[in-house]
Amino acid sequence: VTRLAELDKTPWYKKPNLRLLYLLMFPTCIGVEMTSGFDSSMMNGLQAVDSWDTFFHSPRSTLLGLMSAMYSLGAILVLPIVPVVTDRLGRRHAISFGSLLMIIGAALQTGSQNFGMFVVSRLVLGLGIPFAIVAASSLIGELSHPKERAIIGSLFNSCYFIGAIVAAGITLGTFNMNSNWGWRIPSLLQVMPSALQIIFVYLMPESPRWLISKGRGEEARAILVKYHAEGDETSEFVKAEFAQIKKTLELEKETEKVGWFQVVATVGMRRRILIGAFLGLATQWSGNGLTSYFLARILDTIGIHDNSVKNKFNLGITCWGFVNATFFALISSRFKRRIVYLTCTISLLMVFTAWTIASARYAITGTQASSRAVIAFIFLYSPCYNMAYNALTYTFLVELFPFEVRAKGISVFQWFSRAAGFFNQFVNPIGIANAGWKYYISYCVFLLFEVIFVYFLFPETHGRTLEELAFLYESDKVIEQKRRVEEEIYENENENLSVRMDEGSDKKV
- DSSP character string of 98-113: HHHHHHHHHHHHHT--
> What is d(CA 188, CA 85) in angstroms, rounded to the nearest whole number?
28
Length of the chain: 509
> What is d(CA 370, CA 30) in angstroms, rounded to the nearest whole number?
39
The 10 Å Cβ neighbour count of residue 395 is 27
For residue 150, what are the contacts with CB-CB under 8 A and spacing of at least 6? Answer: 333, 334, 395
pLDDT of residue 382: 92
Instruction: Kindly report, residue by residue over 236-271, the tens digit of the pLDDT.
Output: 888 888 988 888 888 777 655 556 676 777 888 899
CA dihedral 69, 75, 77, 79 (to 10 degrees): -150
- Nearest to residue 149, comparing CAs of 165, 161, 158, 137? 137
pLDDT of residue 292: 63
pLDDT < 50: residue spans in the chain: 509
For residue 18, what are the contacts with CB-CB under 8 A and spacing of at least 6? Answer: 12, 145, 227, 228, 230
pLDDT of residue 434: 78
> What is d(CA 283, CA 301) in angstroms, rounded to the nearest whole number?
24
pLDDT of residue 53: 85
Q: Indicate the residue type of 507.
A: K
Q: Indicate the residue type of 387.
A: M
pLDDT of residue 437: 75
DSSP H helices in 159-235? 160-174, 181-188, 191-200, 208-213, 217-228
| DSSP-assigned states of every residue in 106-151 | HHHHHT--SHHHHHHHHHHHHHHHHHHHHHHHHHHHHHS-TTTHHH
> What is d(CA 209, CA 222) in angstroms, rounded to the nearest whole number?
12
> What is d(CA 472, CA 460) in angstroms, rounded to the nearest whole number?
9
Q: CA-based Rg of the chain, rounded to a whole angstrom? A: 24
> What is d(CA 433, CA 290) in angstroms, rounded to the nearest whole number?
12
- Whole-prediction pTM: 0.79
> What is d(CA 382, CA 186) in angstroms, rounded to the nearest whole number?
24
430 burial via Cβ count (<10 Å: 0-12, 13-18, 19+): middle
> What is d(CA 455, CA 450) in angstroms, rounded to the nearest whole number?
9
- Nearest to residue 398, comparing CAs of 281, 262, 275, 221? 275
pLDDT of residue 256: 55
Side-chain half-sphere of 354: how many Cα atoms within 13 Å?
16
For residue 202, what are the contacts with CB-CB under 8 A and spacing of at least 6? Answer: 92, 96
> What is d(CA 223, CA 300) in angstroms, rounded to the nearest whole number?
54
pLDDT of residue 176: 81
For residue 484, what are the contacts with CB-CB under 8 A and spacing of at least 6? Answer: 247, 250, 251
Q: Indicate the residue type of 270.
A: R
DSSP state letter for 207:
P
The secondary structure of 27-48, three-state, reads: HHCHHHHHHHHHHHHHHHHHCC
Give buried/exposed letters for 299-328 (b at 16+ CB in 10 A, else e).
Answer: bebbebeebeebbebbbebbebbbebbbeb
